[in-house]
Each structure stands twice: as C-alpha cells, then as structure tokens.
Amino acid sequence: MRHPKREIQDKAKVEELLKGCTTLQLALWDGETPYAVTVDFGYADGAVYFHSATAGLKMDCVRANGLVAFTTVVESELIRAEDGCGYTTHFTSVSGRGRATVLEDPAEKAAGLDVILAQHQGPTGGYPEKVLRKTAVVRIDLDELVGKVNPAYPGDPQI
C-alpha cells in the first residue's frame, strides 16, 4: 500500500468491516480479458462465498483460471472544496485477492449459501435439491485481505 498509514492493521477489524457489507465488486480474468461485476456475498472463516447462474461470463472466468480480486466500500463521503484539487473522498474499504473454486458437493453448496444468507440476515437451510443443482456456489480462498481508510486515522483504536 502506497500510504501505509491508511491500512487498517487489525485483521479482526477488517473482517468485521467485511461482514458488515452485502455486495462487492468482483474482478475476474478469463486469460484474455478482464471482467468486473457486482455480486452478493458472504464471508466466513477466511473465505468469501457468492452464488451465480451456472453459465455465463462470470462463471466462464472462474472456470478459466480462478484468479479473482475484489473490493467493497464500507462507507464513502465526497468532500467538496473551492477548487478541484481540494476535492477528495473519505472512505473505508476492504479489498482482497484469492482463488475461486466452484463448489460441486450439494452439502458444501448449501453451507456456502448459508454463509451468504446469514450475512444478509436471511433464513438459512432447507434448499430444494433442484435449486442446488441449478445454482453455482463459489468459494474464494483468500490470499490477501486489506482494509483501507482515507483519511488515515493514526492511532485511532476504532480503526
């Protein structure tokens, strides 16, 4: 990170921030072209889960190589100024990188859907077999998880 003072050092805080979000911007690569899309997600035990239709560009990219990155903005506020050079945005965000795996086992798919729905305060469990068959559930095993704030809050125990 170019401005280390902006990095949230407390891993538990970064995870707490991530668990407070419901959508993230997912970046994928099919080997030739980058692709970014917003997805609903859930986070648990060092992994991000999202669901999808079983076919389409998103799943083509995941299956091509599984390399993914993402970001989610926890909060954002535009700060206006008299001139353009004074404009900025105060924000808190979480970003990560990892490798995506399409879950095939129905029990693993159901567990992944539970993580997503729990993050959205939704009901969990009881997924019909036909829904599990036609729904792709993807787990991203994280290699990196970083929280960032602007402006930097050096020494602030809340961040």
Could you give the CA distance from residue 73 to residue 85 in angstroms, rounded to a whole number? 23
Q: Report the C-alpha dihedral over residues 98, 99, 100, 106, rounded to 10 degrees.
A: -110
The answer to whether the predicted template modeling score (pTM) of the entire model surpasses 0.85 is yes
Tens of each residue's pLDDT in the chain, 159 residues: 566 677 898 999 999 999 999 999 999 998 888 999 999 999 999 999 999 999 999 999 999 999 999 999 988 788 888 888 888 888 899 999 999 999 999 999 999 999 999 999 999 999 999 999 999 999 999 999 999 998 865 444 444
